[in-house]
Amino acid sequence: MTEPHEAAEELEAREPSETQNPSSWRQGEPTPQDVATAYHEAGHAAMSLMLRRPIERVSIEPNQVRLGQCKLRKSVHGPLKDAVETEILILLGGLGAEARHTGAYDWDAASEDMRNVRRLLEMRAANDRAMKRTESRLLDKAEHLLDAPGMWSAIERIAAELLRYGSVSGRGVRHIFEQAIRLGKKRGE
Ligand SMILES: [Zn+2]
């Protein structure tokens, strides 16, 4: 087990050296949109790890399809019902984390996530009303999970790394996440 101070040193070791340009992925100060996207993707990433779904990489570097992305590793375990709920919670984690930072839900930025949420809900819900009800229950649950000890500090730190480097490896994200959760539990946040 790693001591917290050792972990902090490891984080410091990841500071950019003189030969690295920390903003090489994009010039200049991040825009409010960059920051919102960073919180959105950090929300997906931290929610995945909290629900024990490993991730390969998180990025806010724009591509043709979307603003950023959080790439999950394939994993199939647990009963199907839980797997569907887990996937929905990870999808809602982006919307929830972004809203907690900006103060408002950005349904447009999350439109692809919400399409996927509804596609998953259709597998379970009997009708539109039941679907809406389940969607709102799971959004509450996702937001409740954002309150878990250390969770918000994990998201803030992942978002900061994304704004600095553009993307972070799954290993890097897990390191930040585990350290933040450990500290959060210790402090009883
Ligand atoms: Zn998303």
The answer to the question of residue 116 being in a domain is yes
Strand partners, 168: 58
Please give the distance, rounded to the nearest whole angstrom, from the Cα atom of residue 90 to the centre of ligand 1: 9
Residue 177 pLDDT level (bands cut at 50, 70, 90): very high
The answer to the question of residue 103 being in a domain is yes
Rounded Cα–Cα distance for residues 138 and 153 (Å): 22
The answer to the question of residue 132 being in a domain is yes
The answer to the question of residue 10 being in a domain is no
Q: Check if the beta carbon of residue 109 is closer than 8 Å to that of residue 37.
A: yes
Give the count of domains, the chain: 1
Domain residues for 160?
31-187
The answer to the question of residue 52 being in a domain is yes
Please give the distance, rounded to the nearest whole angstrom, from the Cα atom of residue 32 to the centre of ligand 1: 17
Window from 2-6, 158-162, 167-171 with minimum mean pLDDT: 2-6
Find all residues with CB under 8 Å of 121, minimum gap 6, and list them.
Answer: 88, 131, 134, 135
Rounded Cα–Cα distance for residues 107 and 111 (Å): 6
Segment 19-67, tens digit of pLDDT:
444 545 667 889 999 999 999 999 999 999 999 999 999 999 876 445 5
CATH number at residue 98: 1.20.58.760
pTM confidence score: 0.80
Whether residue 154 is predicted with pLDDT greater than 50 in this model: the reply is yes
Please give the distance, rounded to the nearest whole angstrom, from the Cα atom of residue 68 to the centre of ligand 1: 8
Burial, 136: exposed, middle or buried (Cβ in 10 Å; 0-12, 13-18, 19+)? Answer: exposed
Please give the distance, rounded to the nearest whole angstrom, from the Cα atom of residue 170 to the centre of ligand 1: 17
Please give the distance, rounded to the nearest whole angstrom, from the Cα atom of residue 81 to the centre of ligand 1: 21
The answer to the question of residue 6 being in a domain is no
Q: What is the pLDDT of residue 92?
A: 97
Rounded Cα–Cα distance for residues 127 and 122 (Å): 8
Q: What is the pLDDT of residue 17?
A: 38
Please give the distance, rounded to the nearest whole angstrom, from the Cα atom of residue 59 to the centre of ligand 1: 11
Please give the distance, rounded to the nearest whole angstrom, from the Cα atom of residue 69 to the centre of ligand 1: 7
Helix, strand and coil in the chain, % to nearest 5: 60, 5, 30
Looking only at the bridges linking them, the beta strands covering 167-169 and 55-59 are antiparallel
Please give the distance, rounded to the nearest whole angstrom, from the Cα atom of residue 27 to the centre of ligand 1: 24
The answer to the question of residue 13 being in a domain is no
Neighbours of ion ligand 1 (CB under 5 A): 94, 113
Q: What is the pLDDT of residue 106?
A: 94
The answer to the question of residue 64 being in a domain is yes
| Amino acid (1-letter code) at residue 21 | N
Please give the distance, rounded to the nearest whole angstrom, from the Cα atom of residue 94 to the centre of ligand 1: 5
